[in-house]
Amino acid sequence: MSLEEDSRWLEWVTKQFESIAGDDKEIDLDEFKTALKVKESFFAERFFALFDSDGSSSISLDELLEALDLLIHGSETDKLRFLFQVYDVDGKYLRVKRERCINAIVLTCHVGSGSIDPDELRTVLKSCLRESAISLPEEKLDDLTLALFESADKDNSGSITFEELKAELENFPEVMENLTISAANWLKPPDLEQKKCKTPRYLTRAYWHNNSRKLLFLCLYALLNVLLFIIAMLKNAHGGPWFMVAKGCGQCLNLNCFVLQVLMLRRCLTWLRATWVLRVLPLDQNILLHQIVGYAILIFSIVHTGAHVINFARMSQTDGMYQLWEYLFTIRPGIGWVNGTASITGVILQVLICLMVVCSSTFVRRSGHFEVFYWSHLSYIWVWALLIVHCANFWKWFVVPGVVFLIEKLVGIAVSRMGGLYIVEVNILPSKVTHLVIKRPPFFHFKPGDYVYINIPVIAKYEWHPFTISSAPEQQGKFLCYFLCIKKKHMQIFLNYQKSFEWFVSLLTKLEMDQADEEPEGRFLEMHMYMTSALSKNDMKAIGLQMALDLLAKKEKRDSITGLRTRTQPGRPDWAKVFQKVSEEKKGKVHVFYCGSPALAKVIKAQCEQFGFNFYKENF
């Protein structure tokens, strides 16, 4: 961090202190935890004891700033000695003073033993695990403690001295580098970066370049709607303004229902993705387009219905032949090409469309009521039938996609009855996700990015749930489809270990084994494991734990957290650095497939746009 950022952080600490301290201008341990937002009580107590230079069980602002000044301006040795005192649980307090004559920092430590024994180290590592939300068996904690202690205790004296700890740290250059960072990163305060005025992502050149197909499609789609609306209005100018609006919206509804039908042709879209059409149309975003068109249908139908109601109300007042309710709920006015049923079918259609949109909302689908969404969406069969009866020209828009859709359904039924598929293995994972290993039928072929539909009649006879191959549902689910990836191109997998890892740990283990004997240049897969809840490497509290995990991983040749050979990294990936490295490798077109938090998806997508990578968000 820069000097300016350090100064800003000290200013923040001062304000925090002044807002919490009482009339005595001092804070106790509980207030100290609140001030610096330190979660784990062990570290809060150790920091407090070290900052309390006079042993009064309270800290004054001067004591706090003196100690923090050391962490900001002190040398590596000063900071390492502070770290040693944190680990030396017998240590009581810290005394810091600045000698003006030589402009040097003098550190006086009042300690109990001046060394770290195995029990103290175990206490520290256990607190690091709790701080990182890592749950390991007590035996594994003992192994970590032993690995670090045996490596650091050079003279086999049964305790680690300051010089021994310093010598051990020198074997970890990245850890020594962290000793140069400021107190702001050591104590992990809230993000103090001021919000900068940035150009909205949707207005950046990179966004328009990387979303050109989608944006071009939406522009043409909107233009076609406007064009049809105007033409229909002009053709029906004789009926008055509200009649014109109703007819304009009706023509737009024909177009949108046609587009919605096309977006429902999943097998055709899957086939088209393997052709040149993918370079022109945003076929990979068919779900998003389906949602956009669905909302457009809702809006056009409401305006269409409202305009007709206003027009009927005007007609009932001018000619007096029929009342408004007769126009809406009877066939007496004779409106429509099938026995005057246009009004009645229109009312039913409006109810069904509104019901489908409401039941497809996120809060319904992800609140444990998927069947509500599923069964309400099946009413599309009634919608198509009623639209044919409601509008004399709709069949012209419906016939081609309708026939193709019917063929797709018949093919799907035939394929599902071919058999040859059975469950090989079932496991109940700790996160209460059911893991199914399914034998692949000989006729079943797939490519990366494909998905399958699974039906378990015992659970629900008519429900088919889509699953991306080699993936699992994001939320608690009833089953998990599990397949082996195909070795096609060089891949890098970045996993945030947010229990999700357990869904495919055996798959990753097998991939590692497959590549174990390969030369580095022949390996098609790189795995990068991140545990976002863990303390990052630039957090002082994590130094001992990360050293112990590294040492034990080298000794056992596998990661203590996942069991894989790939070492789990703490904290979050620096996506800018990750993508910069991938870009510099120049191995061809880069495709980024993502599943997880929508908030993180925006961050990664923005980085992809900056580097010109293709971004795909998988929905499980």
Q: What is the pLDDT of residues 78-116, one digit of tens each?
A: 888 888 888 888 754 444 443 333 344 444 444 446 889
Q: What is the pLDDT of residue 471?
A: 42
Q: Are 88 and 111 in contact (CB under 8 A)?
A: yes
Strand partners, 192: none
pLDDT cut 90: percent of the chain above it:
30
Instruction: Please report, for residues 78, 504, 511, 594, the alpha-carbon distance to residue 72 in angstroms, rounded to integers and kept in the order given.
Output: 10, 43, 45, 38
Is 90 exceeded by the pLDDT of residue 391? yes
Helical H runs in 319-393? 324-329, 342-359, 362-365, 370-377, 380-390
Helical H runs in 273-340? 286-318, 324-329
Mean pLDDT across 241-268: 95
| Residue 452 DSSP SS3 | strand
Residue for token digits 């050391």? 70
Of 49-63, 128-142, 530-544, the least confident? 530-544
pLDDT classification of 530: cutoffs 50, 70, 90 = confident
- pLDDT tens profile 257-300: 999 999 999 889 888 887 888 888 888 888 889 999 999 999 99
Q: What is the pLDDT of residue 95?
A: 42
> 106-110, 203-207, 265-269, 523-527 — which one is most confidently predicted on average?
265-269
Mean pLDDT across 319-348: 92
Is 70 exceeded by the pLDDT of residue 302? yes
Token pair in block for residue 513: 């084994």
Q: How many helices (H) and strands (E) does the chain have?
A: 25, 13
Q: What is residue 279's DSSP assignment? A: G
pLDDT classification of 510: cutoffs 50, 70, 90 = confident
Select from 50, 17, 13 the least CA-distant residue to 31: 17
Residue for token digits 């009004």? 343
Of 233-242, 327-336, 610-619, the least confident? 610-619
Mean pLDDT across 573-597: 86
| Residue 517 DSSP SS3 | coil
Q: What is the pLDDT of residue 620?
A: 46
Mean pLDDT across 237-247: 94
Q: What is the pLDDT of residue 181?
A: 59
Q: 322-360 burial string, b = 16+ CB within 10 Å, else e? A: beeeebbebeebebbeeeebbbbbbebbbebbeebbebb
Residue for token digits 């804070």? 27
Q: Are 455 and 464 in contact (CB under 8 A)?
A: yes
- pLDDT tens profile 464-474: 666 656 543 33
Q: What is residue 335's DSSP assignment? A: B
> 122-136, 342-356, 530-544 — which one is most confidently predicted on average?
342-356
| Residue 390 DSSP SS3 | helix
Token pair in block for residue 102: 């030589």
Identify the H or E element spanning 453. Answer: strand 451-454
Select from 532, 547, 527 the least CA-distant residue to 174: 547
Mean pLDDT across 595-618: 83
Euclidean distance between CA atoms 157 and 339, whole angstroms: 100
Residue for token digits 């893991």? 435
Is 70 exceeded by the pLDDT of residue 241? yes
Q: What is the pLDDT of residue 488?
A: 40
Query: Beta-carbon neighbour count of residue 101 at 10 Å?
Result: 5
Q: What is the pLDDT of residue 99?
A: 39
Mean pLDDT across 567-590: 86
Q: What is the pLDDT of residue 479?
A: 36
For the chain, the helix, strand and coil percentages under 3-state DSSP, each to the nearest 5: 55, 10, 35
Q: What is the pLDDT of residue 434?
A: 64
pTM of the complete model: 0.58
Residue 219 buriedness (CB in 10 A; 0-12 / 13-18 / 19+): exposed
Mean pLDDT across 420-440: 68
Q: What is the pLDDT of residue 311?
A: 94
Q: What is the pLDDT of residue 135?
A: 81
Token pair in block for residue 365: 């689908």
* Mutual angle of helices 76-87 and 61-73, in 10-degree steps: 120
Q: What is the pLDDT of residue 152?
A: 92
Strand partners, 30: none
Q: Are 362 and 377 in contact (CB under 8 A)?
A: no
**Top-confidence residue, 139 or 177:** 139
**Top-confidence residue, 109 or 550:** 550
- pLDDT tens profile 3-40: 676 677 777 778 878 888 877 788 888 888 776 665 55
Report the chain's mean pLDDT, rounded to a whole number: 79
Q: What is the pLDDT of residue 227?
A: 97
Select from 478, 477, 420 the least CA-distant residue to 444: 420
